[in-house]
Chain A
Amino acid sequence: MATTLKEREVVIVGGGLSAGLLARRLVPLGRDVLVLERGAPRNGSEMQLPSQRDDLRWSILRGLNQRENVETYTLRHAPGEDALPMRQLISFLPGFGVGGGAAHWNGLTWRFQTTDYVLRSHLESRYGKGALPADMTVQDWGVTYDELEPYYTQFEKLFGISGKAGNVRGEKRDGGNPFEPWRAEDYPLPPLETPEAGLIFKAAAKKLGYKPFPLPAANASRAYTNPDGMKLAACQYCGHCERFVCEAQAKASPNILLFPLVVGKPNFELRTHAEVFHLNYDRAAKRVTGVTYIDALTGEEFIQPASVVVLGSYVLSNTRLMLLSGIGEPYDPRTGKGTVGKNYCYQTVSGVGAFFEDRYINPFMASGSLGMVIDEFNNDHFDHAGLGFFGGAYIAAAVTNGRPIATRALPPGTPRWGLAWKAANAKWYLRSFGILAHGTSYSHRNNHLDLDPDYRDAYGRPLARITFDFPENDVKMSAHVTQKAHDLAKATGATIVSPAAPRRGPYDTRLYQTTHNTGGTIMGVDRATSVVSTRLQSWDAQNLFVSGASVFPQNSGYNPTGPVAALALRLGDDLASYLERPRVL
């Protein structure tokens, strides 16, 4: 029997980056904000030495992530196949607990580009209307880079991003990204120190005529105080960023920069262990009336009425909650009709290993977004005419860690066990690094999310079913950019370069690739082809808004946190106005 609670003004589902940015904006206005987070608060062993460095607990056993025995996903590679549950969530890492993915992220903080936001129009105008394959369902976002620029700048200041600008108000800067869209200001902090791998990569990239620049990082290169007066310490290069909570207070997160601003205020509440079952939807009125959740510690069920609901949970959870609540029309890949679950995308990641007899890379001196990168082969920075694919990848020497359990840098031909394997581990651990190609993922008619007809979570709700494989376009793209990464690895003068291994199907969930799932509740100008409007307002419930990478119509070659935050900051302004005068924005 569910207990009905007192109505709250704004209820945000998910206590991560979106919730932090929205609460920061709305609570000082006197708005009543309740955040429902399914996981635990974060203030214990995950952030203090020595337990913070527990590679087994946090990384291998994924201690900060969604538990598969409570909720997992099922996967099939094409419509028509039977999906099977992912018994371990390895290929991506959904956050669980306050801070969500932004507590255990690496800190790569990019801006999506001018062309990303108008991808279909751009490609059709450059390559012709018929150039895009019929099954490539990429769309324009309905928002432009210029509209989001102030929010990117604001986010970079709030999170103290370290980097080197390449284009300040149209003025090109040496040493930054020559393909960067204009930015109002330089990064608030200078880049992190360039590690040995970065120096080697930089020299090789320059030799080949490219313009390398340091990775933009939410790992503070020095102590920083943000415009809210919140403080970051300097990165200690310990190499425990992704999968970990930073113990040095140097990695920007909602936990240290956003929630402390509002926790303790009478009009703010962060309720943890609150697993939202579904939104309560009044179909006739086209409004949500609140959410139903369970207290995961006691098993009690609650109805939480709300005047406004924001879905700010993980990509797959946002989509699943829309489906479980019966809001909007589920996408059908056979007809192409319906929108909820449509345009699910991932990230097309591949890599090449470079091994040096005579150089010490020392991968244990690392940070989440540390190293050098080139952008020549990303997005539409090169002419795709005649190539047979669209999109691309940034190519980087990113030294994120040298943690003991999973760091196995072994040249091709190394035996898989025994003395020779041990000797190769000992030899190459210090003397190798990977060159990463971090590529676009363009939407395909078949790739989508829906509810699994067979498998359920611990509470009896259908699991989200992922139908995904790397589309032919992305496989061809990966072959192209991975060869470029291989050429770069050769140009470093490495003793051994592993063969180019581009990403191919079938999608293998046993290998970590990236947590950058996108789509499912996509934004757009037309309700027939999107779930939320360009203001992130549901087409089917005026008082429901969606925040997160689930609104991306397709994925760029960059990491998605920057655009997620820029959209959430804009949503904060929109909600401030909506709460004054509720309407279709």
Chain B
Amino acid sequence: MLRFPAAIAALLFASAAFAQSVTSGKALYEACEPCHGTGAASTELGPSLIGIVGRAAGARADFRYSRALRGAKIVWDASTLDAFLADPQSVVAGTRMPFAGIPDRSERASLISYLGALR
């Protein structure tokens, strides 16, 4: 009987899980999309999130951010996005984003991995 080495099996499972997580992140992103469209340019309602992971908060030139977000001194990575998406107002008090947050940690993780893949 042919057997995969354990490491390869683990890798396959991991990438399957990753793909699944990205799909569900895409579904979750539906709630963001009315304001954060998937275009390269920001809209009046929300900044474009393309390239958000690794970018500093309030850094896009084509969106008028709240003073709170401009002065937040946050660089968006998995951990800062996770905290922000859990409860936006508690992380950046005064953000104009009208969103109460995502209480479920695994949903946040899915969404963040989707954001990371957003091009």
Q: How far is the CB of A46 from chain B (nearest CB, A)?
A: 12
State A223–B98 Cα separation when bound (angstroms). Answer: 14
Given contacts A43-B44, A231-B30, contact A236 B35 (CB under 8 A): no
Given contacts A43-B44, A249-B45, contact A223 B33 (CB under 8 A): yes
Bitwise interface map of B from 21 to 49 toward A, beta carbon under 8 Å scored 1, else 0: 00000000011111100000000110000
Q: How far is the CB of A258 from chain B (nearest CB, A)?
A: 14
Chain A residue numbers with a CB within 8 Å of B45 are 47-48, 249
Contact of B31 among A233, A237, A256 (CB under 8 A): A233
Let me know if A231 and B34 touch, CB within 8 A.
Answer: yes
State A224–B66 Cα separation when bound (angstroms). Answer: 27
Give the interface size bracket for A toward B. Answer: 20 to 34
Chain A residue numbers with a CB within 8 Å of B98 are 49, 52, 236, 238, 247-248
Q: Smallest CB-CB separation from A237: which chain B residue?
A: B100
Q: How far is the CB of B32 from chain A (nearest CB, A)?
A: 7
Count of A-B residue pairs with CB < 8 Å = 41
Chain A residues 186-227 with CB under 8 Å of chain B are: 222-225
Bitwise interface map of B from 90 to 106 toward A, beta carbon under 8 Å scored 1, else 0: 00001011111000000
Chain A residue numbers with a CB within 8 Å of B44 are 43
Let me know if B33 and A231 touch, CB within 8 A.
Answer: yes
Chain A residue numbers with a CB within 8 Å of B31 are 222-223, 233-234
Interface SS of chain B: loop
Chain B residue numbers with a CB within 8 Å of A250 are 34
In the complex, whether A50 has a CB less than 8 A from a CB of chain B is yes
Chain A residues 252-291 with CB under 8 Å of chain B are: 256
Given contacts A233-B35, A249-B35, A249-B45, contact A225 B30 (CB under 8 A): yes
Let me know if B34 and A223 touch, CB within 8 A.
Answer: yes
Chain A residues 230-249 with CB under 8 Å of chain B are: 231-234, 236-238, 247-249
Let me know if B99 and A248 touch, CB within 8 A.
Answer: yes
State A238–B98 Cα separation when bound (angstroms). Answer: 9
Given contacts A43-B44, A249-B45, contact A233 B32 (CB under 8 A): yes
Interface SS of chain A: loop
Chain A residues 20-75 with CB under 8 Å of chain B are: 43, 47-50, 52
Q: Smallest CB-CB separation from B35: which chain A residue?
A: A249
State A348–B44 Cα separation when bound (angstroms). Answer: 40
Q: How far is the CB of B112 from chain A (nearest CB, A)?
A: 17
Q: How far is the CB of B86 from chain A (nearest CB, A)?
A: 15
Q: How far is the CB of A303 from chain B (nearest CB, A)?
A: 34
Let me know if A233 and B96 touch, CB within 8 A.
Answer: no
Chain A residue numbers with a CB within 8 Å of B94 are 50
Q: Smallest CB-CB separation from B27: which chain A residue?
A: A223
Let me know if A249 and B34 touch, CB within 8 A.
Answer: yes
Q: Smallest CB-CB separation from A225: which chain B residue?
A: B30
Chain B residue numbers with a CB within 8 Å of A43 are 44
Q: Smallest CB-CB separation from A44: which chain B residue?
A: B44
Chain A residue numbers with a CB within 8 Å of B34 are 223, 231-233, 249-250, 256
Let me know if B99 and A236 touch, CB within 8 A.
Answer: yes
Q: How far is the CB of A472 from chain B (nearest CB, A)?
A: 47
Q: How far is the CB of B105 from chain A (nearest CB, A)?
A: 19
Chain B residue numbers with a CB within 8 Å of A236 are 98-100
Most chain A CB atoms below 10 A, which of B33, B34, B94: B34
Q: How far is the CB of A216 from chain B (nearest CB, A)?
A: 21
State A48–B98 Cα separation when bound (angstroms). Answer: 8
Q: Smallest CB-CB separation from B37: which chain A residue?
A: A231
Chain B residue numbers with a CB within 8 Å of A50 are 94, 96
Q: How far is the CB of A421 from chain B (nearest CB, A)?
A: 32
Chain B residue numbers with a CB within 8 Å of A48 are 45, 96
State A231–B35 Cα separation when bound (angstroms). Answer: 9
Let me know if A223 and B30 touch, CB within 8 A.
Answer: yes
Chain A residue numbers with a CB within 8 Å of B96 are 48-50
Q: Smallest CB-CB separation from B94: which chain A residue?
A: A50
Q: How far is the CB of B84 from chain A (nearest CB, A)?
A: 16
Chain A residue numbers with a CB within 8 Å of B66 are 49
Q: How far is the CB of B108 from chain A (nearest CB, A)?
A: 15
State A47–B43 Cα separation when bound (angstroms). Answer: 13
State A232–B32 Cα separation when bound (angstroms). Answer: 9
State A295–B32 Cα separation when bound (angstroms). Answer: 38
State A256–B44 Cα separation when bound (angstroms). Answer: 12
Chain A residue numbers with a CB within 8 Å of B30 are 223-225, 231
Q: Smallest CB-CB separation from B30: which chain A residue?
A: A223
State A49–B100 Cα separation when bound (angstroms). Answer: 13
State A224–B34 Cα separation when bound (angstroms). Answer: 9
State A262–B53 Cα separation when bound (angstroms). Answer: 34
Chain B residue numbers with a CB within 8 Å of A237 are 100
State A223–B111 Cα separation when bound (angstroms). Answer: 14
State A224–B99 Cα separation when bound (angstroms). Answer: 16
Bitwise interface map of A from 415 to 431 toward B, beta carbon under 8 Å scored 1, else 0: 00000000000000000
Q: How far is the CB of B92 from chain A (nearest CB, A)?
A: 12
State A248–B35 Cα separation when bound (angstroms). Answer: 8
State A225–B29 Cα separation when bound (angstroms). Answer: 12
Q: How far is the CB of A255 from chain B (nearest CB, A)?
A: 12
State A265–B119 Cα separation when bound (angstroms). Answer: 28
Q: How far is the CB of B89 from chain A (nearest CB, A)?
A: 10
State A396–B99 Cα separation when bound (angstroms). Answer: 28
Q: Smallest CB-CB separation from A47: which chain B residue?
A: B45
Most chain B CB atoms below 10 A, which of A49, A224, A250: A49
State A224–B33 Cα separation when bound (angstroms). Answer: 10
State A260–B50 Cα separation when bound (angstroms). Answer: 23
Top 5 closest pairs, chain A to chain B, by CB: A249-B34, A223-B30, A223-B31, A49-B96, A233-B34
Given pairs A223-B31, A223-B33, A234-B31, 19 additional interface contacts (CB within 8 A): A48-B96, A49-B97, A49-B98, A50-B94, A52-B98, A223-B34, A224-B30, A231-B33, A231-B34, A232-B34, A233-B31, A233-B32, A236-B99, A238-B98, A247-B98, A248-B98, A249-B45, A250-B34, A256-B34
- Listed in ascending order, the chain A residues whose CB lies under 8 Å from chain B are 43, 47-50, 52, 222-225, 231-234, 236-238, 247-250, 256
- Listed in ascending order, the chain B residues whose CB lies under 8 Å from chain A are 30-35, 44-45, 66, 94, 96-100
What are 6 contact pairs spanning A and B, CB under 8 A?
A223-B33, A224-B30, A232-B34, A233-B31, A233-B33, A249-B35
